[in-house]
Amino acid sequence: MDGGKEYRQMVAEELPQHPDLPIFPGLSWQYSDGRYSISEADVDKLLDYRDNALPKYSRDTEVYLQKVKVIVDALVEGGTGGSEE
């Protein structure tokens, strides 16, 4: 009897997709007087990445891990699908 296998397959199909890592913004670097620099607009992009994109990714990843834990717990606790041998 494949009740447990079917149950595990059904639960595994519920796995959420891991959030995508935010793409690092393209910056235009300039070199002058022995130093590299970026424009004010690029600084804004970099700060937005640091202050918004990365924290959102972190929160999304935490939610993802919580969802996966629920599914793994369901597989561990009820993985037999009612057909224990």
Q: What is the pLDDT of residues 16-37, one digit of tens each?
A: 999 999 999 999 999 999 999 9
1, pLDDT greater than 50: no
pLDDT, position 85: 43
Q: Say if CB 48 and CB 23 are below 8 A apart.
A: no
- For residue 13, being part of any structural domain is answered with yes
Structural domain containing residue 42: 3-78
Number of domains in the chain: 1
- For residue 52, being part of any structural domain is answered with yes
Look up residue 46 and give its two tokens: 């970099």
- For residue 28, being part of any structural domain is answered with yes
- For residue 83, being part of any structural domain is answered with no
Q: Which residue's entry shows tokens 């935010």?
A: 22
2: confidence class by pLDDT, cuts 50, 70, 90:
low
- For residue 62, being part of any structural domain is answered with yes
- For residue 48, being part of any structural domain is answered with yes
Please tell me the distance from the alpha carbon of residue 31 to that of residue 43, in angstroms, as a whole number: 15
- Helix H, strand E, coil C: the string for 27-50 is CCEEEECCEEEECHHHHHHHHHHH
What letter would DSSP give residue 80?
T
Note if the pTM is more than 0.95.
Answer: no
pLDDT, position 79: 55
- For residue 84, being part of any structural domain is answered with no
